[in-house]
Amino acid sequence: MPAAPLQVVILAAGQGKRMRSDTAKVLQPLAGRPLLSHVLATVAELDPARVCVVIGHAAEQVRSAFPDARIAWALQEPQLGTGHAVMQALPHLDARGSVLVLYGDVPLTAPATLQGLADAAANGALALLVQELDEPRGYGRIVRDAAGRVSRIVEEKDATDAERKIREVNTGIVAAPRERLEKWLAQLRNDNAQAEYYLTDIVAAAVRDGVAIEVRKPAATYECLGVNSKGELASLERRIQMNTAKKLLEAGVTLADPARIDVRGELTCGRDVIIDVNCIFEGRVEIGDGVRIGANCILRDATVGARTEVKPFTLIEEATIGQNARIGPYARIRPGTRLEDDVHVGNFVEVKASTLGRASKANHLAYIGDSTVGRDVNVGAGTITCNYDGANKHRTVIEDDVHIGSDVQLVAPVTVGKGATIGAGATIVKDVPPGGLTLTEAKQVTRPNWQRPRKK
């Protein structure tokens, strides 16, 4: 007989008042992605038959952030507790199989942990994810009978003094057979301190029905940490970054300080990569073998070829860097740029929507925008491509083996022919023929009796 299908309900209706933010709590960023995005990524690894997200506060804001047609959305309005939230999801679920209930603000639960709960529910049990905490304040307590079996869960506000001393707590994450879950939810009452329908009350219902209650624990405490404030969000950010740093170290990456790296997306590194402190990686970044990243660099949606060195304080975004290149310090490589092998882009050089051919160099104080630069080109200090006329962008073409002197302005659209040399200080407004020296000459004049203006 085939296994009963797994269905997942994610509760994401809360307002998150302690966040003090106009952004919905489940959309608050963690490692560059919304909290809910992390939960959905974990759920995808379980390959469920259905996923339903229960929304309430800022419902349209949350829904529009995740246009995936495979997600079913259930509206909880008003919000009357976790049990009430799961009730809203039931019409979106199949009548058979098992249901795993998660929270949109608990982003670090491991797939293996959740799979254990799902397997128990598939076998007919009610499965609870629990923890033992030295400081259990704020959590519902797991109450056991004399034989050590789970008998119920009591929320802290409804607990006696003796029950508050229990260290085994409920994380809120549960899995249950679909048919039994619907029956138990229908029996919920809201005669409690919060006047809410608690999902946790299904435990007592399961005990009355003689259904087995199985308990699972996460491999790490942080798997069940939720987010209710910016302080908790910051703590979880450090945790996920340390987890990422650990994986990088295990993969052979050298980190100058594992506590001072931020990966806000997906970072892939080759062998013998060295990353200095305070570097930020956003989006999808691929780094080849033997690459060295200096301190305080930011790379966003970028590819860096083998043995390239990115010197400190460099920003690279939506660009491709070849092998054996040298970038920075203080360089800015903007979107749409491709730097071929052996290219040098030095301090205070900005390159935007341009291609630099193999072994070309712009070592300092230059702007190259909307340009195609050939091989073995040298761009002198202070050179700029004047690509914008106030309304439209125009392209500059610099062919192979061109030497451009310092403080040159190339007024686009313009082409500099192969092997040409442009003298310092030139303003180029017409195409330059191949070879030869091109100057825009001006006579030097000295006025010996000229007086500087004086302040009145």
Three-class DSSP category at 60? helix
pLDDT of residue 194: 85
pTM: 0.89
Q: What is the pLDDT of residues 372-422, one digit of tens each?
A: 999 999 999 999 999 999 899 999 999 999 999 999 999 999 999 999 999
pLDDT of residue 2: 47
pLDDT of residue 441: 84
Instruction: Determine if the peptide bond prior to 78 is cis (ω within 30°).
Output: yes
CA distances from 226 to 39, 104, 173, 174, 309 (A): 11, 9, 11, 15, 39
Q: What is the pLDDT of residues 345-362, one digit of tens each?
A: 999 999 999 999 999 999
Number of residues assigned to the chain: 456
Nearest to 424 by CA among 377, 371, 380: 380
Active site residues per annotation: 364
CB-based contacts of 9, cutoff 8 Å, min separation 6? 52, 53, 54, 86, 89, 93, 99, 100, 101, 102
Low pLDDT (below 70) residues in the chain: 1-3
State how far the Cα of 268 lies from the Cα of 282, in Å rounded to an integer.
Answer: 12
CB-based contacts of 264, cutoff 8 Å, min separation 6? 29, 31, 32, 33, 280, 281, 282, 283
Full set of structural domains in the chain with CATH: 6-224 (3.90.550.10), 244-438 (2.160.10.10)
pLDDT of residue 178: 95
Nearest to 198 by CA among 83, 103, 89: 83
Q: Point out which residues pair with 414 in neighbouring strands.
A: 396
Characterise 31 by phi-psi region: left (phi > 0), alpha (psi -120 to 50), beta (else).
left
- Which phi and psi angles does 34 have, rounded to 5°? -60, 150
pLDDT of residue 53: 98
For strand 33-34 and strand 384-386, is the pairing parallel, antiparallel, or unpaired?
unpaired
Identity of the residue numbered 62: V
State how far the Cα of 241 lies from the Cα of 84, in Å rounded to an integer.
Answer: 35
Q: Are 290 and 270 in contact (CB under 8 A)?
A: yes
